[in-house]
Amino acid sequence: MTAPKPATVLFDWDGTLFDSGAASLRAFRKSLTDFGFAFTDAEYKASYTPRWYRMYETFGVPRELWEQADQRWLHHYGEEEPGLVPGAPEVLAELESQRILTGIVTNGTRPRIERELARLGLQAAFRAVICHEDVTRSKPHPEGVLSALARAGCSPASCWYVGDTPVDIEQGHSAGVFTVGVLTEYVDATRMEQSRPHLMLRSITELPEALYRFTSTTSSKILGGN
């Protein structure tokens, strides 16, 4: 099959554009330590999902503590100041130069996302920003992606959705868009491959090349691989 050049590229925020992986891990570890729970980096990587309640369940945190754990995570994460992932500014600039619209679909809360965008000077960089409060059903339900497309005035057939977790890819598939997975050190690569993105990248920096190469010849493989 062939993949059309997208009119819109939607991104997950945390871990995909925003270099929050290490900060998120530190905050998650501190928040669980506050309640007497511990885990290894390998356990975190094997089970990571942006759906925190599933993470709490995996690590044995009682349901009655989940809301408090959320608040502790927000407190600890607020002490961090990550930036964009390396190469992300150049990727966004390249998409803009090609007149490709961009947007964000995230499970993050709007106050946090707006604060981070403002700190990075990106308040006006995206045509649509869909946060936790903007949907009734969170990832992997397609509502977030479809809402972003409605705001951008774009159809699923002309959209790519880029994310770093299996939940992102599942959401993209459900929305009927072209899915792009990005490998990171915080999510197990096998889990990403099993989510079957249309295209897998080793880094967000490979996205511009994918726009040139993958719009004419496609297969579900890592860009540049065999």
Give pLDDT tens digits for 81-125.
999 999 999 999 999 999 999 999 999 999 999 999 999 999 999
Q: Answer whether 181's CB lies under 8 Å from 14's CB.
A: no
Torsion 50-24-75-62 (CA) sign: positive
User: Residue 219: which pLDDT band, with cuts at 50, 70 and 90?
Assistant: very low
Lowest mean pLDDT among 2-16, 49-63, 102-116, 211-225: 211-225
Question: Which pLDDT does position 27 carry in this prediction?
Answer: 95
For the record, the structure tokens of 71 come out as: 């608040």
- Rounded to two decimals, what is the model's pTM? 0.85
Instruction: Just give the CATH number of 8-19+83-213.
Output: 3.40.50.1000
Q: Where are the alpha helices (DSSP H) in 78-201?
A: 88-97, 110-119, 143-152, 166-175, 189-194
- The better pLDDT of the pair 54, 217 is held by 54
**Residue 216: which pLDDT band, with cuts at 50, 70 and 90?**
low
Helix (H) or strand (E) holding 10: strand 8-11
- Give the span between the Cα atoms of 20 and 113, in whole angstroms: 12
Give the pLDDT score at 49. 86
Which pLDDT value is given to residue 196? 97
